[in-house]
Amino acid sequence: MRFRRALVPFVAVMAACRGDAAPATAESSTGTDSAGLSSGTQAISGEGDPRLDLPPETDGGPGGCVGDGDCVEIDVLFVIDNSGTMGEEQLNLAANFRKLIEQLQNLEDPLGNPINPSVNIMVTNTDFGHPRCTEFEKPDYSPRQGAPVYEGCNARINRFTGLDPQDPLIIEAACTTYCPTDIAPADPFIHFDALGPNLPGGPAPVADALSCIGPQGIDGCGYEAPLEVMLHALNPDACWNRPDACQDDPEWGQYSRGFLRPGAVLAVAIVTDEEDCSVAAPDGWTWFADRGNQLYWENDREGNPAPSSAICWNAGLPC
């Protein structure tokens, strides 16, 4: 189906580390991880276009869709790096969101009939929290740890000022260039289908809303953990995926619609400029904090071992 063309430029394709140099070929398999999340791998031949994990073809689409032809539900998760080096990248991403939305809105089946998909788009950042970052956090900052970011970027414009106490980088243009006025959804995620979007004030363009909630700022932790964040964002028991179980929660109790939908095609886009630093907290943090465990530390300018983010690269090499 043609929606693969819309998503492939944004989707981070990750391959497991192997102990040999064999071609990247995987047989279909399913399983359940330690957090109770089901996982699946579709056969990868190494030839042709990358493949999304599509549901079996049927005569009709999943329930809840409105449209012509084979209606499709698509859930898209963006995990966007919010560390100090990501200002220009976020500006470029906001400039290109419109292309993605246009392709999703104009999907067609193999016969050229409009699909009118039902699409959920959730955005979060790469900050899961880290003991090496806590002391540098701004007073109004808390790591999202996989929870959606759904406010417009102007409402959190302080996020676009870096953490250098003497001469902080300020790149508010990463927000304001494509979001002069905030457009935010009525849910913790953007939704649109043939009946329109979940945006206030009439049919506001979906791309404009995504350009508002997409930029995440540059004051997040430099030990990016996109894989750990993704795991928590997709936890089926999280409040943003199961709002009926969080009616008394001060942040999530006001919502009634969850992001993840049974049977929907799921696409995850990880946007980052550094290696993944995910660890199983809290024991995994000893790789950064325990001076008796400097296996992956890198020497600083004075030649002394230092717990920089190079740990994530060095530890990832042997896999």
CA atoms of 229 and 109, how far apart (whole Å)? 33
Check if the beta carbon of residue 28 is closer than 8 Å to that of residue 43: yes
Mean pLDDT of 187-202: 90
What is the 8-class DSSP label of residue 155? Answer: G
Whether the per-residue pLDDT at 204 is higher than 70: the answer is yes
pLDDT of residue 178: 96
CA atoms of 226 and 125, how far apart (whole Å)? 8
Check if the beta carbon of residue 247 is closer than 8 Å to that of residue 186: no
Cα dihedral 150, 151, 154, 155 in deg (nearest 10): -150
- β-bridge partners, 161: 170
Give pTM, 2 decimals: 0.79
pLDDT of residue 43: 37
Check if the beta carbon of residue 241 is closer than 8 Å to that of residue 148: no
Check if the beta carbon of residue 247 is closer than 8 Å to that of residue 189: no
Check if the beta carbon of residue 240 is closer than 8 Å to that of residue 252: yes
pLDDT of residue 239: 96
Comparing 287 with 177, the larger pLDDT belongs to: 177
Q: Which two tokens stand for residue 230?
A: 């993704």
